[in-house]
Chains A and B, each alone.
Chain A
């Protein structure tokens, strides 16, 4: 029934799903796991507050994230933070500039920001012309982002999602303005640029706990615990695989490839 090479993939998905729901239910019953502090998310309120105090706008982009390909999970993580920031921006009357690289992401981002303003009780403050699409060409988009940052003299820059070669360019543009920069991506090849150039960085899997961290919803916190259990299982498999391969056995690789 299952195509060749998909059995282990399917079983691991079942394990991830089971651990997620099990720990989510446990959390609902009162066993709420504690989550490590994430300075980047703690700094979000401070960054928006600083913009309000200085009378400066803020900037947000989800980078080269699409909602129709493998980067969708990162896009959703970025959009989750975008909505939270939009709510704060509406509450503190901080203008919010959003730049998107792809059409589909742009349409969703427009709705997300609008919803954020609606939840803050200030739908009239939402300005569609501040949610921008410049181009799907990588560096035309990057130039547009940098242009907005410099022209509007933003007080905070948020860059969360999937980023490619434009990551360093955007991070350095924010650093040149001396604004608070909060970035995050699960793309390992661009992560070090953010770590080097930004004030706060969400490292890889940290972007996927944004929703749980900000809402402190027990069910979502339980799911984070479930994910950690799956990482422990993956680590054990890697360790056993490394040891068995060193001893000349291919047991783990043959199980994984089934």
Chain B
């Protein structure tokens, strides 16, 4: 029963949404709209469960005698900021404390992380571009062409580099990307059909 009931719900819901996508039948359309609304509600409740999990983990850490001190300090900060954001956000979405927490902490930290990606890009490229095999050599060659083709100083002296870079991005790169996208799309449709038909239960 533990598996059969969720599978039955998935099968019925999936078929209703699928039929509503293709056929304009009023009762099915209404049922599909209700199901999608329920999905949004369930996801909203799941956030509450997840937030409770976050609090439980950190409260558990504070009450654990053997836990290291710095982890306890970290938990106090997390719980404090969590409660401050949640309470002020519930009072008003325009609360000055809520806005301050978002603008002065959340946003700068997010931007910092995006910026750090550049450094990671360099280290990843350094490892990937080592010409140890034919494939890696081709990657290195394509990488050099695209890098130099996008550098204004190179374009000023060697104009064909820019055209070569455009060709690499527009022809072999785009062809490979579209091949991947078509394969992935068909794979995703198949996964959907397997789940809707109740044939794939490996995630349960």
From 1 to 46 in chain A, residues with beta carbon under 8 angstroms from any chain B beta carbon are 1-3, 6, 9-10, 13, 16-17, 20, 24
Asked whether A168 and B121 contact (CB < 8 A) given A103-B47, A129-B56, A139-B109, the answer is yes
Contact of B53 among A77, A133, A230, A238 (CB under 8 A): A133
Known: A73-B192, A115-B204, A171-B124. A234 touches B42 (CB 8 A): no
- Contact between B120 and A168, CB atoms less than 8 A apart: yes
Asked whether, in the complex, the Cβ of A196 is within 8 Å of the Cβ of B203, the reply is no
CA distance A139 to B22 in the complex (A): 38
Assess whether B87 is interfacial by the CB under 8 Å rule. no
Q: Decide if A231 touches B200 in the complex (CB within 8 Å).
A: no
A246 at the interface (CB under 8 A from B): no
Residue of chain B at shortest CB distance from A128? B53
State A9–B22 Cα separation when bound (angstroms).
9
Beta-carbon contacts under 8 Å, A214-228 to B: 215, 219-220, 223, 226-227
Q: Which residues of B contact A235 (CB under 8 A)?
A: 182
Q: Is A177 an interface residue (CB 8 A)?
A: no
**Which residues from A are CB-within-8-Å of B184?**
186, 188, 204-205, 208
Q: Please tell me which stretch of A48-56, A104-112, A247-255 contacts chain B, meaning at least 4 of its Cβ atoms lie within 8 angstroms of it.
A: A104-112
Q: Given A16, A72, A171, which contacts B190 in the complex, CB threshold below 8 Å?
A: A16
Instruction: Using CB atoms, name the residue of chain B closest to A170.
Output: B120
Q: A79-B203, A197-B124 are in contact. Are A68 and B43 (CB under 8 A)?
A: yes
Assess whether B157 is interfacial by the CB under 8 Å rule.
no
Within 8 A of B (CB), among A70-119: 72-74, 76-77, 79-80, 83, 100, 102-104, 106-108, 110, 112, 115
| Closest Cβ neighbor of B112 among chain A residues | A139
Contact (A196, B110) CB under 8 Å given A76-B195, A104-B43, A215-B202: no
Contact B106–A137 (Cβ < 8 Å): yes
List A contacts of B106 (CB < 8 A).
137, 140
Closest to B44 in A: A103
Cβ–Cβ contact B24 & A1, under 8 A: yes
Task: Give the docked Cα–Cα distance between A3 and B190 (Å).
Answer: 23
Residues in chain A near residue B117, CB distance under 8 A? 165, 168-169
* Cβ of A149 under 8 Å from chain B: no
Range for the number of chain B residues in contact with chain A:
35 or more
Residues in A with CB closer than 8 Å to B186 are 16, 205, 227, 230-231, 234
Complex contact A196–B23 (CB within 8 A): no
Chain A contacts of B46 at CB under 8 A? 102-104, 106-107
Question: Do A197 and B203 touch (CB < 8 A)?
Answer: no
CB nearest neighbor in B for A219? B199
How far in angstroms is the closest Cβ of chain A from B111? 9
Residues of A within 8 A of B125 (CB): 196
B 36-64 binary contact with A (CB < 8 Å = 1; else 0): 00011011101111110110110010000
Could you say which of A9, A103, A131, A196 contacts B124, with CB atoms under 8 Å apart? A196
- Across the interface, which residues of B come within 8 angstroms of A16, CB to CB? 186, 189-190, 193
A66 to B49 Cα, complex, angstroms: 16
Q: Are A140 and B51 in contact (CB under 8 A)?
A: no
**Binary interface profile of B, 12-41, with partner A (CB < 8 Å = 1, else 0)?**
000000000111100000000000000110
Q: With CB as the reference atom, state the residue of chain A lying closest to B196.
A: A17
**0/1 interface trace, chain B 154-171, chain A, CB 8 Å (1 if under):** 000000000000000000
What are 13 A-B pairs with beta-carbon distances under 8 A? A20-B194, A83-B202, A110-B53, A133-B54, A137-B106, A172-B123, A196-B127, A204-B187, A208-B187, A215-B202, A220-B199, A227-B187, A235-B182
Instruction: Give chain A's interface residues, CB within 8 Å of chain B.
Output: 1-3, 6, 9-10, 13, 16-17, 20, 24, 66, 68, 72-74, 76-77, 79-80, 83, 100, 102-104, 106-108, 110, 112, 115, 128-129, 131-134, 136-140, 142-143, 165, 168-169, 171-172, 175, 186, 188, 191, 193, 195-197, 203-205, 207-209, 211, 215, 219-220, 223, 226-227, 230-231, 234-235, 238
4 closest Cβ contacts across the A-B interface?
A208-B187, A103-B47, A196-B128, A139-B113
